[in-house]
Amino acid sequence: MGVFDRMAAMGHEQVVFCCDPDTGLRAIIAFHDTTRGPGLGGTRMLPYPDEEAALEDALRLSRGMTYKSAAVDVDFGGAKCVVIGDPHRDKTPELMRALGRFVEGMRGRLYTGTDVGTYPEDFVHSARESRFIVGLPVEYGGSGDSSVPTAFGVYMGMRAVARHLWGAEDLAGRTVAIQGVGKVGAKLARELAADGARLVIADVDGAAVERTAAETGAQVVDAQAVFDVECDIFAPCALGGVLNDDTIPRLRCRAVAGSANNQLAEERHGLELHRRGILYAPDYIINAGGLIQVADELHPHGPNPERVRHRTQAIYDILLLIFRRSVELGVPTSEAADRLVEERIARTFRLKRIRT
């Protein structure tokens, strides 16, 4: 399929290719849907095998951002920037400044900041060229480490799971298996341990598991074995695509609730979980704490950490609503979430016909 056909099929508005041979910058910026506001999405830098893989990632991730923003009701649309290159070798201050100039040229249609392969410090260079950079280090006016609200949002999501499945949000005595104890997973583990949950953790990074096990008393299992752990909640906090044809039959949990993006390998895997009676907390809702924090930097009345916490806490209510709708409509939670988002976008579209 050609680029225009793919854009039309997925509902994209615009794709921008940015090239600066002097700094080696090759970036693709995809705008999915800006009905609800300017595009907001991080900049991912990876050594993509080819341009096709980079374009595919930009299209997929920008669509995800539309859904995430609408689900937690922040006034932004979906966009994503991908930079083709090895972040360890190719990322230079000059490249980040060149990116900043392209972002500035979009005059506020795009707000961007960190994602895989980029750090808040990198964007200090971009921010010399653009007013539309978010997630800068605190000393540059940014809101700091986004994994803090993300982990808190996942924790609140787990409490919603407990309320829905067991009638009380208390996680004491529940067994939670966490795949990946990096920035989000480790913070989540500490919060759950403080609540008296029993933890099983796995990570390919030996130092990360040792550190978290020492802090929380978690049992450690091999990274390959985490799917087979008998538990109440399985929390994918490492990679996308972990809920697939191979792993779903192995799961021994009542619910899946974790921070990883794009957990379902394909949409049909949401139905497969539903069929097996495993409650799935849609990833783009439960992991939206970081987005809420970044979006709050642009609040018309200035940023406010209390508001971020309050809105992240509301992930609990949004998930309970999705779980209820899933039961009422007899559809998987992933589908109930998508429907809610699509209704919200349609409502905003109707509202915006009123000229201001």
What part of residues 212-231 is at the interface with ligand NAD (CB under 6 A)?
223
Which of 202, 243, 273, 337 is in the footprint of ligand NAD by CB under 6 A? 202
Q: What are phi and psi of 252, to 5 degrees?
A: -120, 45
Nearer to ligand NAD, 247 or 348 (CB): 247
Q: Are residues 144 and 138 in contact, defined by beta-carbon separation less than 8 angstroms?
A: yes
Nearer to ligand NAD, 231 or 237 (CB): 237
Q: Are residues 320 and 266 in contact, defined by beta-carbon separation less than 8 angstroms?
A: no
How much of the chain is in helix, strand and coil states, percent to nearest 5? Answer: 45, 15, 35
Q: How many residues bind ligand NAD (CB under 6 A)?
A: 24
Query: What DSSP state is assigned to residue 133?
Result: B
Point out the residue whose Cβ comes nearest to ligand NAD. 182
Instruction: For residues 1 and 269, give the distance between their C-alpha atoms in angstroms, rounded to a whole number.
Output: 24
Which of 33, 57, 129, 203 is in the footprint of ligand NAD by CB under 6 A? 203
Q: Taking the alpha carbons of 71, 76, 78, 80 in that order, is the dihedral positive or negative?
A: negative
Nearer to ligand NAD, 34 or 147 (CB): 147
Which of 35, 212, 216, 259 is in the footprint of ligand NAD by CB under 6 A? 259
Strands, E assignment, 6-156: 14-20, 25-33, 39-40, 43-46, 77-84, 110-111
What part of residues 170-189 is at the interface with ligand NAD (CB under 6 A)?
179-185
What part of residues 280-309 is at the interface with ligand NAD (CB under 6 A)?
287, 290
Q: Tell me if 204 contacts ligand NAD by CB under 6 A.
A: yes
What's CA 56's distance to the chain center, in Å? 17
Environment class of 90 (CB within 10 Å of its CB; exposed 0-12, middle 13-18, buried 19+): middle
Instruction: For residues 101 and 128, give the distance between their C-alpha atoms in angstroms, rounded to a whole number.
Output: 9
Strands, E assignment, the chain: 14-20, 25-33, 39-40, 43-46, 77-84, 110-111, 175-179, 198-202, 219-220, 233-236, 255-256, 279-280
Strand pairing partners for 233? 176, 255
To ligand NAD, the closest distance from the beta carbon of 100 in angstroms equals 22
Nearer to ligand NAD, 29 or 61 (CB): 61
* Catalytic residue (one of 68, 80, 91, 187): 80
Q: Does residue 80 carry a catalytic annotation?
A: yes
Which of 3, 19, 239, 346 is in the footprint of ligand NAD by CB under 6 A? 239
Nearer to ligand NAD, 7 or 218 (CB): 218
Interface region with ligand NAD, contact rule CB under 6 A, candidates 90-98, 125-133, 232-240, 271-279: 232-240
Instruction: For residues 135 and 145, give the distance between their C-alpha atoms in angstroms, rounded to a whole number.
Output: 8
Which of 175, 247, 261, 313 is in the footprint of ligand NAD by CB under 6 A? 261
What is the SS3 assignment for 116? coil
To ligand NAD, the closest distance from the beta carbon of 14 in angstroms equals 24
Nearer to ligand NAD, 26 or 44 (CB): 44
As a whole number of Å, the CA-based R_g of the chain is 20
Which of 84, 238, 243, 292 is in the footprint of ligand NAD by CB under 6 A? 238
Interface region with ligand NAD, contact rule CB under 6 A, candidates 44-52, 56-64, 118-126, 201-209: 201-209
Strand pairing partners for 199? 176
What part of residues 331-350 is at the interface with ligand NAD (CB under 6 A)?
none
To ligand NAD, the closest distance from the beta carbon of 289 in angstroms equals 7
| Residues at the site binding ligand NAD, with contacts judged by CB under 6 A | 146-147, 150, 179-185, 202-205, 208, 223, 237-239, 259-261, 287, 290
Q: Which residues are catalytic?
A: 80
